[in-house]
Amino acid sequence: MIEGFTAIYIFMLAAIAGYEVISKVPVILHTPLMSGSNFIHGIVVVGAIIALISASNLTEQIIGFIGVLMAAGNAAGGYVATDRMLEMFKSSDG
């Protein structure tokens, strides 16, 4: 199990790597990238649920519940944003 500073270090490296990767993506590829990230957020929801199930005390359960809530909200928001972007590409003919 990863604990303490190691977890924070990994989180910070992942945040920096994610920011660098996303900032270099051309605008035309944002919609497919968001669809892919929605898929990954679905996996994050499953992982958060598994972490919540294996929580042994109240603090871990609260953190797990917040994790599930935030991951589910992020995945749902991603699908809504992707749907709105795809609406912009539809023709107005019908």
Taking the C-alpha atoms of residue 5 and residue 11, their distance in angstroms, rounded to an integer, is 10
pLDDT, one tens digit per residue, over 24-74 is 888 778 777 777 877 888 888 898 899 899 989 999 999 999 999 998 998
pLDDT at 69: 93
Is the confidence at residue 94, as pLDDT, over 80? no
Taking the C-alpha atoms of residue 94 and residue 84, their distance in angstroms, rounded to an integer, is 17
pLDDT at 89: 79
Q: Whole-prediction pTM value?
A: 0.58
**Enclosing H/E stretch for 32:** helix 30-53
**CA 16 → CA 9, 28, 50, distances in Å?**
11, 22, 26
